Amino acid sequence: MLKKTVVGSLIILLFTSLNAYDLKTNMLQLGVELAEVQKSFIASDQKGVEDSIKRFSQHAHDLLGNKENFSAMLPENKKHKANEAVMSAQIISHNVQIILDAIENKYNQSGIVRREESQRAYTYIEHACFRCHNIVRDKY
């Protein structure tokens, strides 16, 4: 199963490098990376969560964090919605930090509390992704 995920990710990464400005390809890559985070949570693989969330975070920031770069990938009638991507990047970054702090046990909390807080942060990341996607994609 992990081998299939890695191979799928590599194919998407190779395809993405050829189409660096293809928004749909980049979104598919982020989706695969976010799925890896979820699988690591389900498997209770702390190292897997750490590695996959860092990889996802870097790619999300690279794609969403710069208004001008993101705007350039949008159709002319949607360019004004690039602010949503930047806001999503900030929400993602904040929640990634919550997950990394929980892994590091920065606040000396029990394992259960850290796991629940980091999993809640993961759902906030998902929500930021869907919110941005829906706002940018939809007609209103």
Q: CA nearest 47: which of 100, 94, 93, 121?
A: 100
CATH 1.20.120 fits 2-137, yes or no: yes
Phi, psi of 20 (to 5 degrees): -55, -25
Residue 136: CB atoms within 10 A of its CB come to 19
**Per-residue pLDDT tens over the stretch 65-114:** 999 999 998 889 889 999 999 999 999 999 999 999 999 999 999 999 99
Under the banding of pLDDT at 50, 70 and 90, the label for residue 137 is confident
What does pTM read for this prediction? Answer: 0.82
How many whole angstroms separate alpha carbon 121 and alpha carbon 91? 10
**C-alpha distances in angstroms, 93 versus 12, 64, 97?**
23, 11, 6
**Per-residue pLDDT tens over the stretch 44-58:** 999 999 999 999 999
The share of the chain scoring above pLDDT 90, in percent, equals 69
How many whole angstroms separate alpha carbon 37 and alpha carbon 35? 5
